[in-house]
Structure 1
Amino acid sequence: MNRRKKINQLLKAHAKKASAKLAPKSKPKYISKADRLKLAAEPSPDSIISPES
């Protein structure tokens, strides 16, 4: 592979990675198992029903 082709290949690869990083994400952000357990253990304010009368 000649030098010019190799440089062009690298530049195209870098441009492709940069545009992929700017593209909108289709998957939700990963939440670890420990964090999910913490969130499940915390009582959410919507589920707590307190009598106001």
Structure 2
Amino acid sequence: MNRRKKVNQILKKKAKKANDKLNPKKKPRYISKAERAKFEQEQEQEGGTYIDTES
């Protein structure tokens, strides 16, 4: 790989990372099945009803 191409590749990679940091993520964080079950169990113990507002 020639020097000019390598430098351009590095600069593009840096610019892409900087741009990704500025833009917030649109997808909600993944919650595993075990964590969902644990969360629902805690909600039942508290006596409150769980309403999914992220949908």
TM-score of the alignment, normalized to the shorter chain, above 0.5? yes
* Ranges of 4+ aligned residues in structure 1 off by more than 6 Å: none
TM-score normalised by the chain length of structure 1: 0.64
Match status 1:21 vs 2:17: no
2-side partners of 1:37 and 1:22: how far apart? 34
Q: Which runs of 5+ in 1 are unaligned?
A: 48-53
Q: Give 1 or 2 for the bigger CA radius of gyration.
A: 1
1-side partners of 2:28 and 2:47: how far apart? 23
Percentage of pairs with the same residue: 60
TM-score normalised by the chain length of structure 2: 0.63
Q: RMSD of aligned C-alpha atoms?
A: 1.9
How many residue pairs were aligned?
47
* Equivalent residue runs for 1:37-52 within 5 Å: 37-42=37-42, 43=44, 44-47=46-49
Between the two structures, name the one with larger relative contact order (CA 8 Å, sep ≥ 6).
2
Q: Which runs of 5+ in 2 are unaligned?
A: 50-55
Tell me which amino acid in the other structure corresponds to 1:39. F
